[in-house]
Homo-oligomer: A and B are copies of this chain.
Amino acid sequence: MSMYPQSIQKLIEKFSKFPTVGPRTAARFVFYLLQTPEKEIEKLADQISMLKKNIKLCSFCFNPFQEEGNLCPICSNTSRDRSLLCIVEKESDLEALEKIKKYAGLYFILGGTLPALRKEDVEKIRFKELQNRIKNPDAFNLFGANFKEIILATNPTPEGEATALYLERHLKEYNTKITKLARGLPIGGELEYADEETLSSSLESRK
């Protein structure tokens, strides 16, 4: 039971819901704010309160964006390859792929993973939305798209792999080529500690 005053305690509870934040870190956030000038705090509160008003989700890929229109800058960019669709778990994965500047196709943000294949889990990710967009991209303002390859770019974690497996099975019906990011030894890795799948893939894809 904490002895902090109520206004502090309530804000600690709010910050504790932020991803990766426990009550101790949340308390540090509040004490940091207590030492921050009033003006700065007002700005922060303002930006938080305006965030959802300023930001829209792309009507095709669910990428958050700020520009005019219904499509994000990637989806509305007609010089990108509209025959390629890369499915990622979340926004920061999309950004990681954009940063390497090797991919010129489109994306779809699934909004999560399937820890298990229960029906209620499937409803938490944007799987129906994905199906609708693959079937009829025009209906979501992405005119002229016709996907010839769907890249499953979920993370190679257990949840990501389970999600990829689910997608693979249920996207078969669209008769589109489905690929997955290659497994391999990462920079800094060691053969001796690599799992067999990683090492096999690393050997087979050698070049």
Q: Which residues of A contact B (CB under 8 A)?
A: 2-8, 10-11, 14, 17-20, 24-25, 27-34, 38, 41-52, 54-55, 57, 64-67, 88, 90-93, 95-100, 102-103, 151, 153, 155-157, 179-192, 194-207
Q: For residue A5, which residues in chain B have a CB less than 8 angstroms away from its CB?
A: 54-55, 64-67
Tell me if A192 and B7 are in contact (CB < 8 A): no
Tell me if B24 and A51 are in contact (CB < 8 A): no
Bound CA span A14–B29, Å: 12
Contacts A29-B18, A32-B18, A203-B100 given; indicate if A93 touches B191 (C-beta within 8 A).
yes
Question: How many copies of the shown chain assemble into the complex?
Answer: 4
The one of B28, B67, B183, B192 that contacts A96, using a Cβ cutoff of 8 Å: B192
The one of B7, B19, B195, B204 that contacts A102, using a Cβ cutoff of 8 Å: B204
Interface SS of chain A: helix, strand, loop or mixed? helix
Tell me if B55 and A93 are in contact (CB < 8 A): no
**Extra pairs beyond A42-B49, A100-B196 (12, CB < 8 Å):** A2-B95, A3-B98, A5-B54, A7-B50, A10-B47, A31-B91, A34-B57, A96-B194, A151-B203, A157-B189, A182-B182, A183-B186
Tell me if A205 and B186 are in contact (CB < 8 A): no
Tell me how far the C-beta of A131 lies from the nearest C-beta in chain B, rounded to whole angstroms: 21
Tell me if A190 and B155 are in contact (CB < 8 A): yes
Q: Which of chain B's residues has its CB closest to A44's CB?
A: B14
Q: Which of chain B's residues has its CB closest to A5's CB?
A: B66
Tell me if A202 and B188 are in contact (CB < 8 A): no
Tell me if B156 and A188 are in contact (CB < 8 A): yes
Tell me if B20 and A28 are in contact (CB < 8 A): yes
